[in-house]
Structure 1
Amino acid sequence: MDPIWKPSKSRNSAMNEFMREVNSRFKINLADYEELWQWSTDNLEQFWGYWWEKSNIRTSKSPKKTLVHADSFEKEKWFAGAKLNFAENLLLFRDEQTAIIFRDENSNREVLTYAKLFQLAGSVAAELKSLGIKKGDRVAAIMPNRPETIVAMLATTWLGGIWSSCSPDFGKEGILERFEQIKPKLLIAIDGYQFKGKKISICEKINLVRKKLACNCIVVNWQLCGSVESSISWESLLNTQDAEPNFCQMDFNDPAYILYSSGTTGKPKCIVHGIGGTLLQHLKEHRLHTDITREDTLFYFTTCGWMMWNWLASGLGSGCTLLLFDGNPFYPSPDTLMQIANDENVSVFGTSAKYLSALEKEGAEPRLQHSFTNLRTILSTGSPLAPESYDYIHKKIKNMVQISSISGGTDIVSCFALGSPMLPVYRGELQCRGLGMAVEVWNGEGRPISNEPGELVCTKSFPSKPVYFWNDPDGQRYHDAYFSRYDNIWCHGDWAEITENGGIIISGRSDTILNPGGVRIGTAEIYREVEKIPAVLESIAVGQAWEGDVRIILFVVLREEKELTDSIQDEIRQTLKRNASPRHVPAKIIKVTDIPRTRSGKITEIVVKDLIHKRPISNKEAISNPEIIEEFKSKAELLNNP
């Protein structure tokens, strides 16, 4: 297979420079990225120690040791003895360069310089200190992707507090089942937001949540759409005469963030991520893998309930400009994000695979309206990026842009596989495994394999692993989540393949793998073929236990004017048979109006699988569109027939 993109010979990326410096420092002769990656995983302490040195993280105390070894992967500690502050390292730049640009559905625009961001974060930190926020206190936020959210996170971590957030579209129970577990000392919330042109007040929801949490509440007044009882106004925090407090110096493995699992199989797990590991990993991924510098504008379409918001916020540590957007990406038109990206001279544009697929389904051709002069990289995550989406990007958005599909997750608040400016891009593949990430693919016998699918694992420790789970004193839930499948090996739960190019193909979650007749099939293999068909907007496939075997059930969302005719079903079956295999052909195809999704927008096969097997849904609050459950329950009755 020929690559669809190659780095220019004249491009001198930070990754190239880093490899030259590694060769000089360690007196070795690495020739390409694959050799650099192999060295980084064979020599973990050398690699991470050197990257610590090169990343210029500001500390008040240097680490005594790069890695403190233990009898297990999960107990090993990185950079013991180091003292640092998370916010300080995101606020090293304090000049007049633009730090944040904010845009919304209504074309409103706000700009903050690095100097102004530092001043605002310091003011809010001073006020939070007066409210009693200190090291280890949790600050929970119900906020959209706005500048105030970044400021509040910086102020919290400035004081050594732990930041945790969800987006304002979460239901009351979904918010409480997260925040009640961590018992925040302070709640920060917006009183309303706009989505798809509709203004939505959440004052009633905030009042209920605040009463349950029994904590102070700061409210960001958004167009004054209501009132929150016994609350403090955000505006009152901004004009303090108090000097900003000192940055609280913390241990490398002290918490910065609490993130949450999707909660589709029970109450969300509270995943605690450390200050140093998060910072060190994000700087590596931004500066080396994405080649971000102070001249770049970085955008990622995300909410504050998804880890990509945390990843985006860390871009401040590299001094680039962050572009934030809040709203529906297709309102008032499918061109909304593309227009904003062009207007704001975005150089790195991040989004989800579903957004790119939906843009293609709309027939959008952004290249006809926009020049995208500065755009050099498009990032995609959330689900596997179909090979056809690579074609669409180059044909309809911008030719010869680097396409970096990335994969990791909330569990590591970063990536296992992602891009490299040194490497070519192959259609349908993630370019490489991350430096310092000992990623392999294993077969059922626990042996490493390539050029065939298996379980994605990580065989050695890394700094951005969770420091622990909240409310898990003996570490059992943490162990069960990642280390119960293989002894002392991180099993991530992705079904993947390492290709002959050294890239990665992700075929979906391994716990949703289809297994008809004993043949293991990733759901992404089905989606990328079915969603080529013009009548199909989206699909979800699950395996149903049937007569001692497993059969594939495919649910499809069709364009509004379409019915699921015999001809459309035949087209779906023939496309799968021709382009995939006869094993990929579903036993049943059923039309639905929507598909269950998690709060971060991912389709959830586990919920659909439970529904068709008439098992109870353990946590409806984890689903962003729970009204669709009844529709699937009614369809389940049809599945009793051959």
Structure 2
Amino acid sequence: MTASRARSQPGVTGASGPLWAPDPDFAATTNMARFTRYANETCGAATDSPEALWRWSIREPEAFWNAVWDFCGVIGERGERVVVDFDRLPGARWYPDARLNYAENLLRRRDDGPALLFRAEDRVRRDLSWAELYDKTSRLARALDALGIEPGDRVAGYVPNMPESIVYMLASASLGATISTASPDFGVQGVLDRFGQIEPRVLLAADGYFWQGKRYSSLDRLPEIVRRLPSVERVIIVPHTEPDPDVSAIPGGVLFDDFIDPWSPREIEFRRLPFDHPLYILFSSGTTGVPKCIVHGAGGILLTHLKEHRLHADIRPGDRAFYYTTCGWMMWNWLSSTLASEATAVLYDGSPFHPGPHVLFDYADEVRMTQLGVSAKFIDALGKEGLRPRETHDLSSVRTMLSTGSPLVPEGFDYVYRDVKPDVHLASISGGTDLCAGFVVGHPLLPVWRGEIQAPSLGMDVDVWDEEGRSMPAGKGELVCKSPFPSVPTGFWGDDDGSRFHAAYFDMYPNVWRHGDWMEWTEHGGAVIYGRSDATLNAGGVRIGTAEIYRLVDRMPEVLESIVIGQPWENDTRVVLFVRLAEGRSLDEDLESRIRGEIRENASPRHVPARILQVADIPRTKSAKISELAVRAVVLGESVKNVEALANPEALEDYRNRPELRA
């Protein structure tokens, strides 16, 4: 059933009603509606509304997570105990008697239906059926097993978002290995800053990648990377940009097909391991130092992603789920898990604007995507381009459009419902690498209100607190989670005493997770994220979320994008705004005055920047997030501790030693 069965109101600025609400007949078919009935009938949940279901999920966590396990058909032995030491955060242990394997849950199908669809810009097109995915995973698992890969061994991937990346993850997970990935646009030091900390035994790499129609080689970097990673015993090279790359210069290098060639496919012997056995090591963005190595347990990732996919994103067997991501962002891990819902994972690598801004919508129509996931900045860019996919594309298969990476501004909601698809469930979601999941997410049974994330995720005891640890029903404060949840990381790699892990999330409010986002509840029960609280400005004693400024400035037609920081000045903090303008535009007195007026009128005088400066580019992390902290460090004359975490570090030079910031 497609989203055409949903009722919607086109997004119009100032509209008093919701932008979209599910048609009752459509709503009744959703997984969320089915789960609600299941919880009421089997657990006595007695919930009669989405809010009541959420409150039951945090009031009765054992019943709720058991219901998710059973409803989603998790493969494995659950055991009797659900959680021990629930009063400890961190420290609670989920399903301490369980045994499962993540890969076994993702490979539950073995037929000729499509499991993976892949495009690399307009250069590569490949698909794998469920049977082909299983057999290829089996062969690679046998080859890794022969190499002696054991549970807990680390394996790493320096790869595009391509089928072999998922095959490698599944084969490694079937053996109980712990997986880390980085995208191939990382430089040598960026790779070493990550993989050097975890000492992988095997490295998967592609020969290169495509970006904006050009081929970029990875083969020239790999010898240096491998030389400085002495733990690596084997480097498996996937031909991607050329059919038969020369790997002779890479120590331990072997082509993918040659590595698996001696092994025929057979039944995979999945190693069932404890619930909290380390599955993934993910990395923080690393712009304030060497990236933190965040360890995630297999069971927590599986159960949490099943909940988000099946219930909140309404992913069903046979769906075709897409998220634009690289292997350097947690959304790749999130997307990979859609296989556990028996959905096809739709992969894309390369620029989402090559050969034009329509390319992802072309792809959506071609493969009949049901879930289309992009970043908020992508939606903003499409609006700036004036693209109107609803006039040029069908998109009738798309039920849900997801957005994350940064707050989706109200104008982004308007754009989607006006120019993309008026009858789609637009699910803005927010969470992070830290939990590899979302705290506030979409909900298929609730209306979509302009500028709002719909609801807290089920099982997540989310709240907004002030600096004193008091709950705030209204007003902006710290996003916290007051109770344990299954995807709390097991810790940081190498943090033997847990001190760095504790300092990252639990120092401000003991026994409560402080996420580091600045948030506010809405009158509809939804949430608005105002940016990172550690980048929150404090001008004249008033805390200002940077997203409050971006949503006003970035909607101006002359401004392509902006970045704002707080600069210490005369015993206070002043707001400094940098803008990247449309081609041919310059920051003259008229535009500067209009920017100030827009902010003063629609935010407050406190938000108005003391300085507005034009720049050529905005520095971003590898996962495309603007890096306010790196800009602030340059402005203050401090060193950026991990320039390798930035996709475009050269952009920082435009911010250095600006005379306007010395007066």
Regarding TM over 0.5, the answer is yes
- Corresponding residue for residue 7 of structure 1: 22
- Corresponding residue for residue 626 of structure 1: 649
Q: Distance in 1 between matches of 2:400 and 2:454?
A: 13
Percent identity of the aligned residues?
46
- Uncovered stretches (5+) of structure 1, i.e. residues with no partner: none
Given candidates 110, 115, 118, the residue that maps to 2:131 is 115
- Corresponding residue for residue 21 of structure 1: 38
Given candidates 139, 159, 163, the residue that maps to 2:155 is 139
Q: Secondary structure at the match of 1:374?
A: coil
Q: Does 1:164 align with 2:180?
A: yes
Q: How does 1:219-298 map to 2 (within 5 A)?
A: 219-222=237-240, 223=242, 224=244, 226-227=246-247, 228-229=249-250, 230-239=252-261, 240-241=263-264, 243-298=266-321
**Deviates most, 206-215 or 301-310:** 206-215
Q: Secondary structure at the match of 1:110?
A: strand
- Corresponding residue for residue 465 of structure 1: 488
Structure 1 residues 297, 195: closer, same or farther in 2, change over 3 A?
same
Structure 1 residues 528, 242: closer, same or farther in 2, change over 3 A?
closer
| Kept in 1: contact 2:372–2:398 (CA 8 A) | yes
- Corresponding residue for residue 229 of structure 2: 213
| Kept in 1: contact 2:94–2:275 (CA 8 A) | yes
TM score, norm. by length of structure 2: 0.95
Task: For residue 411 of structure 1, report the CA deviation from its aligned partner.
Answer: 0.4
Task: For residue 565 of structure 1, report the CA deviation from its aligned partner.
Answer: 0.9
**Cα offsets for 1:459-512 (capped at 9, x unmatched):** 000000101110011111110111001011000000001111110100000011
Task: For residue 237 of structure 1, report the CA deviation from its aligned partner.
Answer: 3.5
**Cα offsets for 1:434-453 (capped at 9, x unmatched):** 00000000012211112211
Q: Distance in 2 between matches of 1:305 and 1:90?
A: 21
- Corresponding residue for residue 53 of structure 1: 70
Output the amino acid matched with 1:233.
Answer: L
Q: Does 1:175 align with 2:191?
A: yes
- Corresponding residue for residue 420 of structure 2: 397
Task: For residue 578 of structure 1, report the CA deviation from its aligned partner.
Answer: 1.7
**Cα offsets for 1:351-392 (capped at 9, x unmatched):** 100011011111111111101011111100000000000000
Q: Distance in 1 between matches of 2:291 and 2:82?
A: 32
Q: Does 1:305 align with 2:328?
A: yes
**Deviates most, 620-629 or 223-232:** 223-232
Backbone CA RMSD of aligned residues:
1.2
Q: How does 1:426-441 map to 2 (within 5 A)?
A: 426-441=449-464
Task: For residue 241 of structure 1, report the CA deviation from its aligned partner.
Answer: 2.7
- Uncovered stretches (5+) of structure 2, i.e. residues with no partner: 1-15
Q: Distance in 1 between matches of 2:484 and 2:522?
A: 24
Q: How does 1:59-98 map to 2 (within 5 A)?
A: 59=76, 61-69=77-85, 72-98=88-114
Output the amino acid matched with 2:652.
Answer: I
TM score, norm. by length of structure 1: 0.98
Q: Distance in 1 between matches of 2:86 and 2:335?
A: 32
Q: Does 1:639 align with 2:655?
A: no
Q: Secondary structure at the match of 2:220?
A: helix
| Kept in 2: contact 1:497–1:506 (CA 8 A) | yes
Task: For residue 545 of structure 1, report the CA deviation from its aligned partner.
Answer: 1.1
- Corresponding residue for residue 31 of structure 1: 48
Given candidates 531, 537, 542, the residue that maps to 2:565 is 542
Q: How does 1:532-571 map to 2 (within 5 A)?
A: 532-571=555-594
- Corresponding residue for residue 445 of structure 2: 422
Task: For residue 612 of structure 1, report the CA deviation from its aligned partner.
Answer: 1.4
| Kept in 2: contact 1:272–1:470 (CA 8 A) | yes
**Cα offsets for 1:188-230 (capped at 9, x unmatched):** 1011111011111111211111111122111112214553424
Q: Distance in 1 between matches of 2:638 and 2:418?
A: 44
Given candidates 498, 510, 520, the residue that maps to 2:543 is 520
Structure 1 residues 553, 141: closer, same or farther in 2, change over 3 A?
same
- Corresponding residue for residue 580 of structure 1: 603
- Corresponding residue for residue 188 of structure 1: 204
Q: Does 1:368 align with 2:391?
A: yes
Task: For residue 16 of structure 1, report the CA deviation from its aligned partner.
Answer: 1.1
Q: Secondary structure at the match of 2:361?
A: helix
Q: Does 1:105 align with 2:121?
A: yes
Task: For residue 433 of structure 1, report the CA deviation from its aligned partner.
Answer: 0.2
| Kept in 1: contact 2:138–2:265 (CA 8 A) | no
Q: Secondary structure at the match of 1:552?
A: strand
Q: Distance in 1 between matches of 2:635 and 2:33?
A: 51
Output the amino acid matched with 1:161.
Answer: A
Q: How does 1:492-507 map to 2 (within 5 A)?
A: 492-507=515-530
Output the amino acid matched with 1:250.
Answer: L
Output the amino acid matched with 1:72.
Answer: R
- Corresponding residue for residue 330 of structure 1: 353
**Deviates most, 242-251 or 34-43:** 242-251
Q: Secondary structure at the match of 1:299?
A: strand
Output the amino acid matched with 2:390.
Answer: R
Q: Secondary structure at the match of 2:38?
A: helix
Task: For residue 610 of structure 1, report the CA deviation from its aligned partner.
Answer: 1.4
Given candidates 372, 375, 386, the residue that maps to 1:349 is 372
Given candidates 38, 43, 50, the residue that maps to 2:60 is 43
Task: For residue 58 of structure 1, report the CA deviation from its aligned partner.
Answer: 0.8
Q: Distance in 2 between matches of 1:31 and 1:583?
A: 43
Structure 1 residues 70, 432: closer, same or farther in 2, change over 3 A?
closer
Task: For residue 244 of structure 1, report the CA deviation from its aligned partner.
Answer: 4.8
Q: Secondary structure at the match of 2:598?
A: helix
Q: Secondary structure at the match of 2:95?
A: strand
Q: Secondary structure at the match of 2:228?
A: helix
| Kept in 2: contact 1:201–1:226 (CA 8 A) | no
**Deviates most, 251-260 or 333-342:** 333-342
Q: Secondary structure at the match of 1:593?
A: coil
Output the amino acid matched with 2:638.
Answer: R
**Cα offsets for 1:150-190 (capped at 9, x unmatched):** 10100100111111000000010000010010000111101
Q: Does 1:150 align with 2:163?
A: no
